[in-house]
Structure 1
Amino acid sequence: MTVCRDCCCGSRTKHPTVDHDAQLDGLRAALEPDHRVRTSLCLDVCAQSNVMVVHPGPAARRRGARPVWFGLVADDAVVADLVAWVRAGGPGVAAVPAVLELSVITSPVLTGR
């Protein structure tokens, strides 16, 4: 999983009610060591911050699975749903739950930005 933590994502100014450090610590505690959680610089979808990208595992990737991008991840319930989905296998293994479909965004790579 890649968690954007640059200009808008992770910003107390933009999201003053979100404890961004606790969010990242919680993701790492819930997913590592089985799943890597890393941070990135700006992913270029600032209007959708906080952005997280869930990557498929190697076997799913070989079968054609692609990363799934999530935006507006500022709520603990959405983070918990993401964790559950990743633990269930994530992209290419488990279907995106309907509640998470609401947070799926298009990758800027796919939109040509």
Structure 2
Amino acid sequence: MTALKNRKCTPCEGGVAPLSEGEARTMMHELEPDWMLIDGGNMLARTLTFENFIKTMEYVNKVAKLAEQEGHHPDFSISYNTLSLELMTHSIDGLSENDFILASKIDEIE
């Protein structure tokens, strides 16, 4: 399999099945270990802690720029120096390869 971070998200309009929990667990091996499968394997989640609010927001803006480039967007929850990210493909109500591609690219952000 080509490294996920080297791939590009492709538009998903629905009509395809979400990844099974087994497929998602296999793809988890290409991500940083703090990513988790939640919601019965239908969503990826990661929580990060930063030095302060400004550092948190700088990181959020880097992720936002990446998400725009990829055309695939995470959900953010911010509490001072803590950022929670959630990824899923809403059009299929579950995980797609796009979620893992974006997660692997988020892993590369410093």
TM category (shorter chain) comes to: 0.3 to 0.5
Greater relative contact order: 1 or 2 (C-alpha under 8 angstroms, separation 6 or more)?
Answer: 2
TM-score by length of 1: 0.35
**Could you tell me the TM-score, scaled by structure 2's length?**
0.35
